[in-house]
């Protein structure tokens, strides 16, 4: 393991990352026996809402030899380790943006630890992997709750790795749940839900192959390092190298991602992952998936999903499984995965370059966004809200001034209660559109109408002038921030 190289993370795999977490008290081993059926999900949830450590379940009932990790990439402390960076959301967001712009080419190796054990054909049995029933009403065991589903664009040859969940159907089949309904014969999806032209590219690959009667080679990567997980859940635009997610993750990590070729296809997968499921998405077949507890905080409906036939499993010696309980609150850094994409989408679509930050707090998917902007005229916050409702489908939109810390609910609420006259600055929003017109994208969850709060004070015309806030100005805070290290406060 390489440590303490500036700008480079201190790990090359999920297990090395977990080792650092443990050394810093950010991961605990659970040695008591736990049940896959609901218990692991409930323990993970209870610990998550208490901002608890990462958990490594070492004694999973019926699986004495295969531990399962949860909650390892949620807290700011954990993410500072993941990025070898500052404990600061804004600084980490900047790292994400920078890495998307300037990627680091991957390294391709002849073999790697993920090939330690190779299981083929009749020997393949997904039952060998501890896969929880995460929520009490789930329709099945979800194996890929934090995984990368890798496919190749049949036209360009570019790889795509998307984070799409999979429910186990039988010993060698799973669903691949790419959001939306894609009946056999439907056209490839256009556009994106969270921003970025390549969002849900996996579905386009499958549907293009299927139109020609062809299967889609596919690999599901389980147990990746946290920056690869982040890349899989983010709409990373494709580029000429065709390895977009791997190369964004490499740039974030400050070292190339090491890749190896699959046994059964040309798909490249991370050499240091724990487990790879290889096979094909079967043309002309669909299988129900769900219900499943979702990031909206509700169970979703059953989708008719693509069917993945697993032909080969490769894994490290003594592999570690990794998964998450999905709900209103989840084990992944939503602010990093989504906010960057939402900001890009909003600025690009509205031309409001004075929008500085968009924050997506843990209030459930499609719940609320906070928009931080440099307001230059009275009424502009309402214009920004209207633009947000036109282009996104978040219910609540709260607009705050440039000097607000959008990661601090108390700062936001202080502005709401101090600067928003209910009659003048609280608005009923538009009736929300389905995300980009793809029917069935989200289950219908009321309320369907947004609400907007103008919690700004800059350039606002009010009956009585708003007194100057006593908080230090951003300029002053940035100035002292530069002295942090010198003052021994880092």
Ligand X SMILES: Cc1cc2nc3c(=O)[nH]c(=O)nc-3n(C[C@H](O)[C@H](O)[C@H](O)COP(=O)(O)O)c2cc1C
Query: Would you tell me which residues interact with ligand X (CB under 6 A)?
Result: 146, 160, 162-165, 177-179, 194, 198-202, 233-235, 324, 332, 337
In terms of CB distance, is 13 or 174 closer to ligand X? 174
Q: Fill in the DSSP letter of residue 122.
A: G
Closer residue to ligand X in complex, CB, 95/177? 177
- Give the shortest CB-162-to-ligand X separation in angstroms: 3
Q: Smallest distance from the beta carbon of 110 to ligand X, in angstroms?
A: 27
Q: 367 near 397, Cβ under 8 Å?
A: no
> Least distance (Å) from ligand X to the CB of residue 209?
16
Q: Are strands 117-120 and 303-315 parallel, antiparallel or unpaired?
A: antiparallel
Kindly tell me which of 202 and 223 has the beta carbon lying closer to ligand X: 202
| Alpha carbon 144 to its chain's center | 13
For the CB of residue 97, give the shortest distance to ligand X in the complex, in Å: 15
CB of 329 to ligand X, least distance (A): 12
Q: 271 or 342: whose CB is closer to ligand X?
A: 342
Question: CB 60 → ligand X: shortest distance, Å?
Answer: 21
- The angle subtended at Cα 205 by Cα 200 and Cα 211, nearest 5°, is 130
**Residue 179 or 375 with smaller CB distance to ligand X:** 179
10 vs 189 by CB, closer to ligand X:
189
CA–CA dist 162, 198 (Å, integer): 10
Instruction: Give the position of tokens 């490249």.
Output: 268
Peptide bond before residue 140 is cis, with ω within 30 degrees of 0: no
Spatial contact of 283 and 215, defined as CB atoms under 8 Å apart: yes
Nearer to ligand X, 300 or 456 (CB): 300
Reported as half-sphere exposure (CB side, CA atoms, 13 A), residue 336 has a value of: 34
Nearer to ligand X, 165 or 395 (CB): 165
Question: What minimum distance in Å lies between the beta carbon of 238 and ligand X?
Answer: 9
Q: Of 145 and 380, which has the nearer Cβ to ligand X?
A: 145
Q: What whole-number distance in Å separates Cα of residue 481 and Cα of residue 487?
A: 10
Q: Give CA separation, 156 vs 138, 170, 205, 221, in Å.
A: 37, 33, 10, 22
Nearer to ligand X, 54 or 162 (CB): 162
DSSP sequence for 82-116: HHT--S-HHHHHHHHHHHHHS----EE-S--GGGS
d(CA 52, CA 25): 10
Q: Which is nearer to ligand X, 113 or 195 (CB)?
A: 195
| Least CB distance to ligand X at residue 12 (A) | 22
CB of 243 to ligand X, least distance (A): 12
The C-alpha angle with vertex 344 and arms to 340 and 348, in degrees rounded to 5, equals 175
Helices (H), 275-401: 334-350, 380-391
Both tokens of residue 420? 């928003």
Nearer to ligand X, 202 or 452 (CB): 202
* Nearest distance, CB of residue 142 and ligand X, angstroms: 9
Min separation Cβ 145 and ligand X, Å = 6
Beta bridge partners of 161: 150
If the CB atoms of residues 293 and 381 are measured against ligand X, the closer one turns out to be 293
For 53, the 3-state DSSP assignment is coil
71: preceding bond cis by omega (within 30 degrees)? no
- CA 188 from centre of chain: 22
CB of 194 to ligand X, least distance (A): 5
CB-CB contact of 400 with 372 (8 Å) = yes
| Other beta carbons less than 10 A from residue 19's beta carbon | 15
Minimum CB distance to ligand X, residue 73 (Å): 10
Listed in sequence order, the residues at least 6 apart from 323 whose beta carbon sits closer than 8 Å to its beta carbon are: 68, 69, 70, 131, 132, 134, 142, 143, 145, 146
Is residue 177 packed enough to be buried (19+ CB in 10 Å), middle (13-18) or exposed (0-12)?
Answer: buried
């Amino acid at each position: 393991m390489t440590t303490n190289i500036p700008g480079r993370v201190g790990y090359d795999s999920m297990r090395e990352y977990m080792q650092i977490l443990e050394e810093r008290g950010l991961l605990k081993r659970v040695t008591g026996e736990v049940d896959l059926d609901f218990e692991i999900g409930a323990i993970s949830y209870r610990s998550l809402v208490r901002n608890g450590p990462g958990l490594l379940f070492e004694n999973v009932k019926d699986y004495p030899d295969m531990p399962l990790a949860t909650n390892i990439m949620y807290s700011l402390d954990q993410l500072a380790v993941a990025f070898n960076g500052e404990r600061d959301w804004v600084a980490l967001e900047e790292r994400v943006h920078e890495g998307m712009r300037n990627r680091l080419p991957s390294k391709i190796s002849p073999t790697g630890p993920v090939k330690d054990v190779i299981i083929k054909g009749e020997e393949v049995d997904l039952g060998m992997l501890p896969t929880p029933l995460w929520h009490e009403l789930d329709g099945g065991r979800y194996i890929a709750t934090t995984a990368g589903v890798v496919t190749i664009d049949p036209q360009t040859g570019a790889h795509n790795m998307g984070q799409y969940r999979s429910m186990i159907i039988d010993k060698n089949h799973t669903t691949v749940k790419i959001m939306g309904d894609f009946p056999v014969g439907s056209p490839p999806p256009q556009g994106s839900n969270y921003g970025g032209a390549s969002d849900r590219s996996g579905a386009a690959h499958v549907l293009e192959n299927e139109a020609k009667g062809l299967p889609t080679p596919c690999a599901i990567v389980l147990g990746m390092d946290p920056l690869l997980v982040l890349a899989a859940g983010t709409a990373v635009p494709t580029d000429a190298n065709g390895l977009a997610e791997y190369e964004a993750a490499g740039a974030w990590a400050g070292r190339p991602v090491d890749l190896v070729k699959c046994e059964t296809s040309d798909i490249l997968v991370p050499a240091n992952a724990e487990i790879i499921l290889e096979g094909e998405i079967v043309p002309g077949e669909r299988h129900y998936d769900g219900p499943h507890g979702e990031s909206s905080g509700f169970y979703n409906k059953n989708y008719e999903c693509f069917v993945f036939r697993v032909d080969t499993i490769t894994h490290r010696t003594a592999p570690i499984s990794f998964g998450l309980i999905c709900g209103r609150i989840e084990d992944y850094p939503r602010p990093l995965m989504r906010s960057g994409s939402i900001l890009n989408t909003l600025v690009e679509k509205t031309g409001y370059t004075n929008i500085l930050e968009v924050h997506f707090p843990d209030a459930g998917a499609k719940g609320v966004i906070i928009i931080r902007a440099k307001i230059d005229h009275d009424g502009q916050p309402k214009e920004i809200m209207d633009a947000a409702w036109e282009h996104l489908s978040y219910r609540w939109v709260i607009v705050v001034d440039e000097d607000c810390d959008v990661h601090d609910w108390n700062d936001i609420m202080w502005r709401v209660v101090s600067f928003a006259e209910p009659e003048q600055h609280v608005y009923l929003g538009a009736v929300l559109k389905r995300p980009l017109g793809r029917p069935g994208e989200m289950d219908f969850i009321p309320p369907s109408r947004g609400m907007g709060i103008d919690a700004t004070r800059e350039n606002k015309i009010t009956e009585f002038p708003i007194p100057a806030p006593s908080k230090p100005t951003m300029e002053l805070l940035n100035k002292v921030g530069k002295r942090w290290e010198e003052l021994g406060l880092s």
